[in-house]
Structure 1
Amino acid sequence: MTVLDNDKAAYTSREDEVDEEAQLLNEDYEQLELTSPGTGPDTASRHPPDQPSHRRRPSARSFFPRHRAPRWLAWLYGPDPPRIQSLRPWLPSVQELPVRALHAALPRSWHRTVLFALFLVAWSVSLAGPALLSRTPSGGGAVEVRHLSCDDSLWRPGNECGLEGVNCHPFANASFAFRCPRGCTGAKTVHSQHFVGTQEIEGEVLPPVVGGGSGSPFRGDSSICRAAIHAGVVDDQGGMRSSACGVVNLVGEYYQYFSSSANGVSSMGFGSHFPVSFKVAKADDGLRCVDGRWMSIPATVFLSMLLALFTTSPAVFFFTVFLGLFAQVSLLDAPLPSAPMALYIERLIPALLVALLIYHTCIRRTLSPPASASGPASRPATTNLTKLLLWLFPAWLSAFATHIAPYFLTDDSPARRVPTPVIAGLSVLLFIVLLTLQARTFYLESRLPDYLVFYAAVCLVLAILATPIPSLHVRPAHHTLAVLLLPVSAAHTGASMILQGLLTGVFVHGAATRGFGPGKVLVPITWFNAGLKNAGPYDGSSYGDPAAGITSEIPLPDLVPPLVERLSKGDWTEDPSTFVEGGLKLWLGWRPLKNPDVEFEVEDGKSGTRRKEKIAGVSVLINDVEMFRGWFSEKPLQDQVFRYPRRPPGEQVHMDEFFRFSFVTESGRALRYTEAGTWFANGTFSQGEGYW
């Protein structure tokens, strides 16, 4: 054998070692060869001088090979040959200890399989067990404690409670225990079509509280937690405190709600009747009000830490952590006693399919352990502690942040005093730094052109979806955006682990709370009624785009002058001396709708899907409760008549009543209600200002 043959044999053996290292890293999609044993992680594998360039074997395919690129773009391909980046573990001998100890104690694979099965059972019990504590004994029975958010109420906005509130029963003779979170005094939420008499509550505001002053109960659409704080039943600290619990007692219809301010909460007044009211009281000693959801967080954190330290398989680690975090976030968002498992499964299946895709494209590359001089038989875990600190901790942070932050940030906490723009600016800066480091990594590994083309295509698609066309006026949901950005983290570096952990947590949080099915991936840029507050009365003119059959302006019902009829007891007589008042009756009618074929986009509240529907009827709210719904299929709009009686004096306390009108679509969804017209206690009807 010649010297040249010996050199070729040595080089062939060297290539076999490189292939073995590539298998350990699961890097079968690298663009060029990995570093050879004994060289630094940033050093490229060098070919012998006599090795022909055409015999170099790339380990992955590039969509845009270097030799086909024009000269002015050649700099994007980085160094030639590329320098594959690899994470340098901290104290590898220390990080290997847990796995070596596990293999020494359980040398057979089936032993470790049984241990892993027991581990999964323990994790499942830690999640389901604390949720069962939400059912606690009280008075010899089982009472479910409802875990409320700051804006939860007994009444839904607009006409979602149905005619005369049929979908929001019961109105009286019912009670339940509840628990409130921390920070409801100043927590703002987005409201749409929330009315209190002549007032309209819309936008990002504090959840309203109506009544509670001068001994009056609270109106049914009041925020329960803020009403309880106002009444002094619970405090604003929430969390695990027993003072976060109370009992709601439904007392039915009430006729006067007085405003007041107490305990940092101001309530509104309402001088008319409403079908459902409630009072709040402290929970009795027999009710052990426990928020069991939060007890499972320490177990989830501890068990995921054990998994990170004792496993070397990226698939086992990722999918187990994914399922555990998904279940934990679902539990925090809606406790198991009140959330059907069907909803959990409905959200989990599509999310699991997406998780499988992102694992094979980017997760596996980052979480694979690097090669070790001790050989593959020893199963080294040289990045397990690194994986715990740089990947798992950011995943916890982004998955749990929105749920646990209100429970640990008090009003006097320094974090509360940091302005929101500062926090947002620091977050954006961190993200820019991570993206810059990833761009450098892809440049050194000659992968930058492929990523630039991929994200150029993504931006083009998003730009098309963000066009002013109503059916496409959407943007990706936050967990969809996280999935689109995850390919940027497909590298074996510390910055990749941090970025990937953060994005994975955002993905898990969004998929568990919102879902990853149809209608949840893309969300409208503007909410259904956003930007339509100034829509005026329909004047018969065309609106929207008739060719497209879609409109961006919502018409309002055009009311004809109402008629107030005075009733008598007995037969009608023209002699005033013989007239005995029998009450009043209000007659309402509308002018015809000139273009009933225009379609509007409505969102299904359950599935989140958006569909186009035509105007199909008219709705009337009286004191913010739907009292009439007329369908055009039964009678044209101009023939619709709504009669509303008022009983005679002595039988009913007369007070002002407030009327609003809206068109409804085929599914019964109200488009937008008019401003309030008032039927005064003296019998006169005012159509009001503005729209009227």
Structure 2
Amino acid sequence: MESSSVTSSLRATHVDSESSFEADKPTPQLSKEPFEVEALVQETAKASELWHRRLARRLAQRYPRVARLVRYVQGPRPKVDLPEPRPFLNLTLYTGRRSRSLALEPFLLRVTRPFTGPWLFIILGAAYIIAFAFFARAQSFQTPSDSFIGCTATYWAANDGCGLNGESCEPFTDSTFDFRCPEACASVVLENPRTVGDVQVDYVPLIVGGGDANRTYRGDTFICAAAIQAGLISNSKGGCASLALIGNYTDYLPFTANGLTSIGFPTVFPLSYRFLSSTPLHHCEDLRTPALAWNVIVTALILLVLRPKPIITFWCLVCIGFWHVALFSEPMATPPPLDSAFGAFLPALFVCYAFWRLAFRFTLPVFRKAPIEASVWYLPTFWAGVLTNITMDKIPINRLIASDLRQQPGAITALIIIVIIVLFIVINQVRVIRKTGWLPHYLGWYVAGGLVTMVIALLPGLEFRLHHYIISMVLIPGTAFPTRLSAIYQGFLLGMFLNGVAAWGFDSILQTAADLQGDGASGSAMPSFVTNSTNWNVSIPLHNSTISWASLPSSGGWDGFSLIIDDVERYAGTALNFSLAILQSGLPHFFRLAYTSADTTGDYTMPATLWPNGTWVDPKPGTST
């Protein structure tokens, strides 16, 4: 220490003596030695820390409640890890002075230890893939591909979809069709109101007719729903049938059978069909229920018996769940388009790897010594999420957009209940996260994500659409904690993500109004009939009568009209009237009118009705589809 001091004083004296002789010379800037730079950095950091502490102390003195809230949100410092949950099934029962141990988890671990070898897992995995491939072949690839139809398949499109006089939907007669339907078509319903005559139907399968002795259905009836109503196929297993087109038919009668009710249509329609008594198709039974049982058993064996490493278990759940949806429970089309499925599979794997890194690696491994508990917490919720199309089917919410929530009965109530349940779950999860000290970290990321989402949602010309796979991606990072509830949430959210991606692909979070409209109303301007109940002349015969409407508006870019009579487009042009000479007397007739612009058709008016007794009923306000 003394020698050091002497050296320092000598260095100072030497510098002073030199400076006295070289005062007029420019002194070069010497670079600081490394230890001097480190000291400077430490001093700066210490000063910054002191400044930070002083500011925090002043804020705490001025706003003590805010300071307490901040300390509460921060949680323990330094951060801590939650203890691993103790297995429920390792119980000790005391009866007097004796105790009996019910160690079910260790017993299962001991009994199944011979089956946990990696080679056995590889062999059984290969056998599963081969068996699954044969299962998929029997499900979708032994019936002609052109015989598969969806639950909403029809021969006639809504409004002017078939063109003038239905020319785009010909032929109307002398044609047969052998078809195969998937299961559960009775629950596939109209998502927008559909006008049939003067009636609007919504949130039911579209079935018109079937009440006569020959079971005659109108051409726009959902084919599979009609086949279920007619008793030709099963709603639980699907099936095959054949039909024949018969052309014009008058007065379709309503009918109720097999849990489905059709509506009537009291006038003529150019396209109808009847079912045949037999079909040449084979291998028609839908195997999604046996496939579900098979996959549930396999996943249970993986968790209970084979017990690979947690990361392998995770990837098994991902692959089995994805391909069950893509090939069985909710394929993108029928037969399943394998190219589209593989196109969604690879990016899904990348997202699932993020799930593992962000959440599952902190929760799934803590149950490695409790396989029974792992199966109980993960598998039921996982398969409930994979089968979201079934488990959530009774909830009256189809799309999380304002127009659907307003239209669908019970949707707002259901949404409120769901929000309350999710809010309780989130509050409890926030409580758990705070105990670890990680709450500020998660709050920061979620607030940042919320701000980005708000900016995206405000982009002009686009509508924000929250798909259920996105909900899973948002919530899974918040389950990265070793609790039983986190395991339950992870199972359901992973299954829901796989259902959304395998069934629909990575659909955009932003969509145009046209994307969301579908076959619903666009909100465009509508024409008005000049003919009304006041000026209609009952004494003029129908074949001499004419209906008329107001001229085109100067704004909007419209250049013509489309007139639908009895749900068939009968006129498209610029005229302001139409002769009713082509109509059959003695029947009711229904008239709807819309503006047109090039190939675009606006919204149709509600139907005006002309009854056989000559009574004209003006259209109600609103649009029809």
Q: Tell whether the structures are fold-level matches, with TM greater than 0.5.
A: yes
Question: Which residue of 1 is the match for residue 446 of structure 2?
Answer: 455
Measure, in 2, the Cα distance between the counterparts of 1:190 and 1:462: 31
Question: Which residue of 1 is the match for residue 593 of structure 2?
Answer: 661
- What SS is found at the alignment partner of 1:471? coil
Picking from 309, 313, 318, the partner of 1:317 is 313
Is the 1:218–1:279 contact (alpha carbons within 8 Å) kept by the matching residues of 2? Answer: yes
Question: Which residue of 2 is the match for residue 624 of structure 1?
Answer: 567
Picking from 258, 274, 279, the partner of 1:279 is 274
Alpha-carbon distance, 1:465 to partner: 6.0
Measure, in 1, the Cα distance between the counterparts of 2:361 and 2:55: 30
- What SS is found at the alignment partner of 2:461? helix
Asked whether 1:672 is paired with 2:615, we answer no
Measure, in 1, the Cα distance between the counterparts of 2:582 and 2:413: 62
Which residues of structure 2 form unaligned runs of 5+?
A: 1-41, 43-51, 61-66, 91-104, 395-409, 533-540
Question: Which residue of 1 is the match for residue 324 of structure 2?
Answer: 328
Picking from 79, 89, 114, the partner of 1:101 is 114
Q: CA 1:209/1:124 → structure 2, altered by over 3 Å: closer, same or farther?
A: same
Q: CA 1:194/1:395 → structure 2, altered by over 3 Å: closer, same or farther?
A: same
Is the 2:523–2:603 contact (alpha carbons within 8 Å) kept by the matching residues of 1? Answer: no
Measure, in 1, the Cα distance between the counterparts of 2:339 and 2:501: 15
Alpha-carbon distance, 1:391 to partner: 1.7
Q: How do 1:317-396 residues align onto structure 2 when only pairs under 5 Å count?
A: 317-330=313-326, 331-334=328-331, 337-368=334-365, 381-396=368-383
Alpha-carbon distance, 1:277 to partner: 0.9
Q: CA 1:159/1:362 → structure 2, altered by over 3 Å: closer, same or farther?
A: farther
Picking from 131, 147, 150, the partner of 2:140 is 131
Measure, in 2, the Cα distance between the counterparts of 1:94 and 1:616: 80
Is the 1:146–1:177 contact (alpha carbons within 8 Å) kept by the matching residues of 2? Answer: yes
Is the 2:148–2:334 contact (alpha carbons within 8 Å) kept by the matching residues of 1? Answer: no
Whichever structure has more helix as a proportion of its residues is 2
Question: Which residue of 2 is the match for residue 507 of structure 1?
Answer: 497
Rg larger in structure:
2
Question: Which residue of 2 is the match for residue 83 of structure 1?
Answer: 80
Q: CA 1:405/1:127 → structure 2, altered by over 3 Å: closer, same or farther?
A: farther
Question: Which residue of 2 is the match for residue 570 of structure 1?
Answer: none
Is the 1:76–1:443 contact (alpha carbons within 8 Å) kept by the matching residues of 2? Answer: yes
Is the 1:131–1:292 contact (alpha carbons within 8 Å) kept by the matching residues of 2? Answer: no
Measure, in 2, the Cα distance between the counterparts of 1:66 and 1:295: 65
Alpha-carbon distance, 1:674 to partner: 0.6
Measure, in 2, the Cα distance between the counterparts of 1:255 and 1:267: 16
Measure, in 1, the Cα distance between the counterparts of 2:296 and 2:125: 17
Question: Which residue of 2 is the match for residue 196 of structure 1?
Answer: 196
Is the 1:216–1:256 contact (alpha carbons within 8 Å) kept by the matching residues of 2? Answer: no
Alpha-carbon distance, 1:508 to partner: 1.5
Alpha-carbon distance, 1:228 to partner: 4.1
Alpha-carbon distance, 1:329 to partner: 1.7
Measure, in 2, the Cα distance between the counterparts of 1:357 and 1:82: 23
Is the 1:582–1:648 contact (alpha carbons within 8 Å) kept by the matching residues of 2? Answer: no
Question: Which residue of 1 is the match for residue 436 of structure 2?
Answer: 445
Alpha-carbon distance, 1:664 to partner: 5.0
Q: CA 1:193/1:98 → structure 2, altered by over 3 Å: closer, same or farther?
A: same
Measure, in 2, the Cα distance between the counterparts of 1:434 and 1:680: 57
Picking from 454, 459, 470, the partner of 1:480 is 470
- What SS is found at the alignment partner of 1:317? helix
**Could you give the per-residue CA deviations for residues 307-351 of structure 1, whole angstroms, max 9, x where no partner exists?**
334354444333332232122123222487534334434544554
Instruction: Give the aligned residue type for 1:446.
Output: G
- What SS is found at the alignment partner of 1:517? coil
Question: Which residue of 1 is the match for residue 216 of structure 2?
Answer: 217
Q: CA 1:348/1:677 → structure 2, altered by over 3 Å: closer, same or farther?
A: farther
Between 1:167-176 and 1:441-450, the stretch displaced more is: 167-176
Picking from 515, 531, 555, the partner of 1:595 is 555
Question: Which residue of 2 is the match for residue 555 of structure 1?
Answer: 525
Question: Which residue of 2 is the match for residue 176 of structure 1?
Answer: 178
Measure, in 1, the Cα distance between the counterparts of 2:378 and 2:265: 53
Q: CA 1:433/1:387 → structure 2, altered by over 3 Å: closer, same or farther?
A: farther
Alpha-carbon distance, 1:671 to partner: 3.7
Measure, in 2, the Cα distance between the counterparts of 1:483 and 1:665: 42
Asked whether 1:155 is paired with 2:115, we answer no
**Could you give the per-residue CA deviations for residues 152-210 of structure 1, whole angstroms, max 9, x where no partner exists?**
544333334444445545533213244574693xx583442512122233x43464433
Q: How do 1:461-610 residues align onto structure 2 when only pairs under 5 Å count?
A: 461-462=452-453, 471-518=461-508, 528=517, 553-558=523-528, 591-596=551-556
Measure, in 2, the Cα distance between the counterparts of 1:642 and 1:440: 68
Measure, in 2, the Cα distance between the counterparts of 1:466 and 1:442: 29
Measure, in 2, the Cα distance between the counterparts of 1:588 and 1:349: 58
Instruction: Give the aligned residue type for 1:673.
Output: Y
TM-score normalized with structure 2 length = 0.68
Alpha-carbon distance, 1:679 to partner: 6.3
Measure, in 2, the Cα distance between the counterparts of 1:258 and 1:318: 54
Question: Which residue of 1 is the match for residue 618 of structure 2?
Answer: 688
Instruction: Give the aligned residue type for 1:319.
Output: W
**Could you give the per-residue CA deviations for residues 598-653 of structure 1, whole angstroms, max 9, x where no partner exists?**
xxxxxxxxxxxxxxxxx6764332321334555xxxxxxxxx2388676679xx77
Q: CA 1:283/1:390 → structure 2, altered by over 3 Å: closer, same or farther?
A: farther
Picking from 293, 299, 303, the partner of 1:298 is 293
Alpha-carbon distance, 1:495 to partner: 1.4
- What SS is found at the alignment partner of 2:176? strand
Instruction: Give the aligned residue type for 1:498.
Output: I
Q: CA 1:511/1:199 → structure 2, altered by over 3 Å: closer, same or farther?
A: same
Measure, in 1, the Cα distance between the counterparts of 2:309 and 2:460: 46
- What SS is found at the alignment partner of 1:74? helix
Alpha-carbon distance, 1:394 to partner: 1.0
Which residues of structure 1 form unaligned runs of 5+?
A: 1-53, 55-64, 136-141, 371-380, 408-418, 533-551, 563-580, 598-614, 631-639
Is the 1:183–1:406 contact (alpha carbons within 8 Å) kept by the matching residues of 2? Answer: no
**Could you give the per-residue CA deviations for residues 358-407 of structure 1, whole angstroms, max 9, x where no partner exists?**
3332233333457xxxxxxxxxx435444332123311122125337989
Is the 2:302–2:308 contact (alpha carbons within 8 Å) kept by the matching residues of 1? Answer: no
Instruction: Give the aligned residue type for 2:135.
Output: S
Measure, in 1, the Cα distance between the counterparts of 2:188 and 2:293: 29
Instruction: Give the aligned residue type for 2:499.
Output: H
Q: CA 1:194/1:451 → structure 2, altered by over 3 Å: closer, same or farther?
A: same
Q: RMSD over aligned Cα, in angstroms?
A: 4.8
Question: Which residue of 2 is the match for residue 13 of structure 1?
Answer: none
Number of residue pairs aligned between Structure 1 and Structure 2: 520
**Could you give the per-residue CA deviations for residues 483-519 of structure 1, whole angstroms, max 9, x where no partner exists?**
211111112222111101111111122222233233x
Q: CA 1:100/1:217 → structure 2, altered by over 3 Å: closer, same or farther?
A: same
- What SS is found at the alignment partner of 1:398? helix
Q: How do 1:231-310 residues align onto structure 2 when only pairs under 5 Å count?
A: 231=230, 233=232, 238-240=235-237, 246-261=241-256, 265-283=260-278, 289-309=284-304, 310=306
Between 1:92-101 and 1:206-215, the stretch displaced more is: 92-101
Is the 1:132–1:337 contact (alpha carbons within 8 Å) kept by the matching residues of 2? Answer: no
Q: CA 1:319/1:248 → structure 2, altered by over 3 Å: closer, same or farther?
A: farther
Is the 2:208–2:262 contact (alpha carbons within 8 Å) kept by the matching residues of 1? Answer: yes
Alpha-carbon distance, 1:673 to partner: 0.8
Is the 1:257–1:269 contact (alpha carbons within 8 Å) kept by the matching residues of 2? Answer: yes
TM-score normalized with structure 1 length = 0.62
Is the 1:347–1:512 contact (alpha carbons within 8 Å) kept by the matching residues of 2? Answer: yes
Is the 1:369–1:382 contact (alpha carbons within 8 Å) kept by the matching residues of 2? Answer: yes
